């Protein structure tokens, strides 16, 4: 049973901080996620913090920088290359989706793990990609030259769009690589990113959930942690070492730029860096915008997902087949659910809204007297006026997103709607059949990971939440159907899941092969989907779109004003899934008070947590045997094996899998989480509580060599100091 995590009672209220204009500045070397290409001109902070290698070793465009060893893994994680043969290290949870696609009841890699014993045993992962950033260049002047700040947004966007398209085309021609121009600082800066994306990625090593997901939701976003959150893949290339689709003849990607692994460890206070692709932060929004997140959006998400996760967990615990279908989806849903709880709590305890309001008073004083940007004095008033009138719409939209479209059968009504549009388009029969056939192919993945009985339980749990808490925006069809079934959500669900084609792959494929408009429009899934989408389009979408469009412009101008006030020196751009470096130091945390202070965890502590009666705390027998016999090999440290450590680097979603480097740029760990008290760092960074949690690379190597018997992989890696002789199975 999933439970809302209870607040830690001993956590002290945080002292109110005296505000200065630099509240969100880089006055602390630890705050902020910096663009690597900017260090060449502004390196004093990172050097004074402890960096002990030349700046151009961190990043350069000639192919010799560490940027060539850090990759965007899939669509939302980071990975690092740890051998000259394309061996890639990332998080267990980052590889989860790909491994689910490779798993079955016969090959249950979540229960047993997977360890390739040669290149021939490495498993192709369809759809998985790895992207290398070869260089970045500031092209702001070429994009914004001659464009006035207050130009009408549509006209401004049109000019910028044309310039971006043409400039990207030029970069692609000259570099022979991918080129993408991205907006930074709310559209006040633009950078071109030159990259290469590899498409043949294969699974090499994946520990079972009893290691890679040890602690589950209970420990997620918490410190201390004892999770071996890693997986290993390999990048493959064609004969020219270039990106290519999967081919059995492809070879491991060859590179001179990979990370050296440091096996001597760290101590508290040591310099660390996190190099990766942080997803999204919003450090510069106003207090009212923050309140919408903290008091409306996050609470609705938490409430809805709590109910959904309760149903999923019960059914997954009772049926292994349901577990395999939903384990990746559940991990994704639960990750945000737990994070948002910590986020709300941290923002509230830190009085961040009040701090932002104090900051806004100081900003307004500056805007009223400074003539550099005449429009600045009205910015906050305009943002607040627009924000304060949209709360009800924002709440309704979030309830629809989480509580209605969180039901898979209703989500899938969108596919029926696509089919209906094809039928209504009057296509010739042959073309119609071909189009519907292509649509139906997408259903294979859906039904592979779908259980109608499980989804029906979610319907019964979520529909009352939407109907009863959102009465102003409930479609009449929903009210009529509920009344028809005597206000019984269970009876309503029984009818829906018995009659809808979406609940049965056979029925859905029948519609695709025998298209019938009436069958679609009579289907409960389509009716539920159509009713909620129609209501949202009429009552919510247009107004919210207009609001969001106006905020894009106002937030851009507000960001520009903050940059001007700070003289462009003290502000770092929000994260936007582009390559960044954050740096700080190994630093412990005491969430339960001084008695709980720690900066490192060990295998001894993990074994104490082992509990065979609780799946998320069930440790594999082999790992316990290694512990009982103290069979740690070269990875023993003070009679145990270190598992995780904590530092005060500023990280975000997307930094999962990021390499954690020491002062010499050597790999000491893999970032995988944040401390619950500091998950607010997407909006506000507080050095006292914000911590990133990383897996000690020595635990990774211990599990690979001793648990997985895959020590042949270590022969590819470069270590410092050089480890003892490796006695392992030979690579075929």
The full 3-state SS of 332-367, as one line of letters, equals: HHHHHHHHHHHHHHHHHHCCHHHHHHHHHHHHHHHH
The full 3-state SS of 509-560, as one line of letters, equals: HHHHHCCCHHHHHCCHHHHHHHHHHHHHHHHHHHHHHHHHHHHHHHHHHHHH
CA angle 216, 222, 227 (to 5 degrees): 50
Is-contact 601 215, C-beta < 8 A?
no
Burial of residue 703 (number of CB atoms within 10 Å: 0-12, 13-18, 19+): buried
Query: Token pair 């009504």 is at which residue?
Result: 413
Helix, strand or coil, per DSSP, at residue 585: strand
Is-contact 217 616, C-beta < 8 A?
yes
Helix, strand or coil, per DSSP, at residue 712: helix
What are residue 196's DSSP bridge partners? 132
Distances (CA, A) of 209 to 25, 95, 307, 391, 619: 40, 12, 24, 41, 8
Q: Which of 276, 90, 100, 122 is nearest to 200 (CA)?
A: 122
Rounded CA-CA distance 78/604 in Å is: 29
Considering 525, 656, 658, 681, which one is annotated as catalytic? 656
Q: How much is the CA Rg of the chain, to the nearest whole Å? A: 26
Is-contact 211 228, C-beta < 8 A?
yes
Q: For residue 42, count other CB atoms closer than 10 A to its CB.
A: 12
The full 3-state SS of 180-209, as one line of letters, equals: EEEEEHHHCEEEEEEEEEECEEEEEEECCH
Helix, strand or coil, per DSSP, at residue 331: helix
Residue 332 bears catalytic tag: no
Kindly state the tokens that stand for 704.
Answer: 């690979």
Rounded CA-CA distance 589/327 in Å is: 31
Considering 92, 93, 226, 650, which one is annotated as catalytic? 93
Is-contact 482 467, C-beta < 8 A?
yes
Helix, strand or coil, per DSSP, at residue 719: strand
Residue 93 bears catalytic tag: yes
Is-contact 659 275, C-beta < 8 A?
yes
Considering 229, 457, 523, 648, which one is annotated as catalytic? 229
Residue 585 bears catalytic tag: no
Residues with catalytic annotation?
Answer: 93, 229, 656
């Amino acid at each position: 049973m999933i439970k809302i995590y209870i607040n830690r009672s001993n956590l002290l209220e945080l002292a109110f901080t005296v505000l200065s204009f630099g509240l969100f500045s880089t006055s602390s070397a630890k705050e902020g996620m910096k663009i690597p290409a900017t260090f060449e001109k502004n390196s004093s902070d990172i050097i004074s913090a402890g960096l002990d290698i030349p700046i151009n070793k961190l990043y350069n465009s000639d192919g010799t920088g560490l940027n060539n060893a850090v990759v965007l893994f899939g669509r939302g994680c980071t990975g690092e290359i740890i051998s000259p043969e394309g061996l890639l290290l990332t998080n267990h949870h980052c590889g989860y989706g790909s491994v689910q696609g490779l798993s079955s009841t016969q090959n249950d890699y979540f229960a047993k793990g997977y360890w390739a014993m040669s290149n021939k045993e490495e498993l192709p992962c369809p759809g998985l990609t790895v992207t290398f950033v070869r260089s970045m260049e500031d092209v702001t002047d070429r994009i914004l030259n001659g464009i006035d700040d207050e130009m009408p947004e549509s006209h401004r966007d049109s000019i910028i769009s044309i310039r971006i398209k043409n400039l990207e085309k030029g970069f692609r021609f000259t570099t022979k690589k991918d080129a993408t121009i991205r907006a930074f600082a709310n559209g006040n800066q633009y950078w071109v990113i030159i990259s290469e994306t590899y498409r043949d990625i294969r699974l090499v090593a994946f520990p079972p959930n009893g290691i890679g997901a040890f602690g589950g939701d209970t420990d997620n976003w918490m410190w201390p942690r004892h999770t071996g959150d890693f997986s290993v893949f390999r990048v493959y290339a064609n004969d020219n070492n270039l990106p290519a689709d999967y081919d059995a003849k492809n070879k491991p990607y060859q590179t001179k730029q990979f990370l050296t692994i440091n096996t001597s460890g760290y101590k508290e206070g040591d310099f660390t860096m996190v190099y990766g692709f942080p997803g999204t932060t919003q450090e510069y929004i106003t207090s009212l915008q923050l309140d919408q997140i903290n008091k409306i959006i996050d609470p609705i998400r938490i409430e809805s997902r709590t109910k959904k996760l309760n149903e999923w967990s019960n059914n997954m615990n009772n049926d292994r087949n349901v577990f395999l279908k939903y384990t990746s989806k559940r991990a994704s849903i639960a990750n945000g659910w737990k994070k948002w709880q910590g986020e709300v709590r941290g923002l509230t305890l830190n009085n961040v809204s009040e701090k932002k309001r104090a900051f806004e008073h100081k900003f307004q004083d500056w805007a009223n007297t400074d003539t550099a940007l005449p429009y600045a004095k009205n910015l906050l008033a305009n943002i607040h006026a627009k924000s304060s009138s949209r709360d009800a719409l924002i709440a309704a939209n979030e309830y629809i997103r989480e509580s209605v479209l969180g039901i898979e059968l209703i989500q899938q009504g969108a596919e029926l709607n696509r089919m209906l549009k094809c039928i209504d388009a009057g296509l010739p029969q042959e073309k119609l059949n071909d189009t519907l056939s292509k649509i139906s192919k997408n259903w294979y993945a859906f039904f592979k990971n779908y259980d109608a009985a499980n989804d029906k339980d979610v319907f019964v749990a979520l529909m009352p939440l939407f109907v009863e808490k959102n009465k102003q925006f409930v479609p009449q069809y929903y009210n009529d159907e509920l009344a028809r079934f005597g206000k019984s959500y269970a009876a309503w669900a029984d009818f829906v899941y018995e009659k809808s084609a979406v609940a049965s792959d056979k029925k859905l494929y029948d519609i695709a092969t025998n298209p019938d408009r009436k069958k679609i429009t009579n289907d409960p899934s389509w009716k539920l989907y159509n009713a909620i989408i129609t209501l949202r389009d009429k009552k919510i979408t247009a107004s919210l779109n207009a609001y969001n469009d106006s905020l894009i412009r106002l937030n851009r101008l507000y960001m520009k004003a903050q940059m001007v006030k700070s003289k462009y020196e003290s502000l770092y751009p929000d994260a936007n899934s582009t390559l960044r470096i954050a740096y700080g130091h190994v630093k412990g945390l005491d969430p339960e008070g001084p008695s709980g202070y720690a900066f490192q965890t060990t295998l001894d502590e993990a074994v104490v947590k082992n509990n065979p009666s609780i799946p998320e705390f069930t440790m594999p027998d082999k790992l316990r045997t290694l512990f009982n016999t103290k069979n740690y090999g070269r990875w023993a440290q003070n009679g145990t094996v270190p598992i995780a450590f904590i530092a005060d680097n500023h990280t975000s979603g997307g930094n999962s899998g990021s390499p954690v480097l020491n002062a010499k740029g050597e790999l000491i760990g893999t970032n995988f989480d944040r401390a619950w008290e500091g998950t607010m760092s997407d909006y506000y960074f507080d050095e006292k509580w914000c911590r990133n949690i990383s897996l000690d690379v020595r635990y990774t190597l211990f599990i690979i060599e001793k648990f997985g018997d895959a020590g042949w992989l270590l022969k590819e890696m470069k270590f410092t100091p050089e480890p003892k002789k490796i006695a392992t199975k030979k690579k075929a």
